[in-house]
Chain A
Amino acid sequence: QVQLVQSGAEVKKPGSSVNVSCKASGGTFNNYAISWVRQAPGHGLEWMGRIIPLLGTTNYAQRFQGRVTIIADKSTRTAYMDLSGLRFEDTAVYYCARESGKWDLPHWGQGTLVTVSS
């Protein structure tokens, strides 16, 4: 059974960066993409980007290009999402999710609240 466990809540200043981790257990880690999805208060789900751990290849949503970096450590089965240049509107719950190979997300982490506050 696939389980994704994310790092804890963060409070960050505007302009700083945040790094959220996502550790996978069970199932296959290398071959399936890990996506990052966020939900800001009062807003819907928003796809940010993904990585295929085996290849290290990444794809990012256009609106996050240049601000988001996703990496994966195959040895520890952990994916990381780094978001820089934080703004107040980046306050959100950030989720990692593992794909099934059919562009769907059957496995989700518990979410990490990132609060941007001065």
Chain B
Amino acid sequence: SALPQPPSASGSPGQSVTISCTGTSSDVAGYNYVSWYQHHPGKAPKLIIYEVSKRPSGVPDRFSGSKSGNTASLTVSGLQAEDEADYYCSSYAGSNNLVVFGGGTKLTVV
């Protein structure tokens, strides 16, 4: 089943917001293969964090990832209007269901 994420998060422009993703020893806690995706409605998801804390080329350093135990976190600093989107974590989950996504968090920039 999906990794639990808060359904919503919000912040004002310039503020920081952190989104959590809770897993188990079989996924998040067991491997350093946590990714985060930004998804604007009607567009394809975009990879913004991989291997827990690495950023693909072109992704602003306002986006950062971390992990502690079975919880991974995405922090968006210096919020901008264009950051308003759905955010999904995903993790490698071993040989049964190789990849599992989080339930998604809708980020609103108010």
Contacts and interface: CB of A to CB of B under 8 A. Distances in A.
B45 A104 contact: no
Interface residues of B, number: 27
Contacts of A104: 33, 35, 47, 50-51, 90
A62 B44 contact: no
Interface of B: 2, 31, 33, 35, 37, 39, 44-47, 50-51, 56, 86, 88, 90-92, 96-104
Interface residues of A, number: 22
Contacts, number: 67
Contact of A106 (B31, B47, B103): B47
Given A100-B50, A102-B50, A47 B88 contact: no
Nearest to B44: A108
A2 interface: no
B33 A103 contact: yes
A95 B35 contact: no
A113 B2 CA distance: 22
Contact of A111 (B31, B33, B44, B92): B44
Given A100-B50, A102-B50, A45 B45 contact: yes
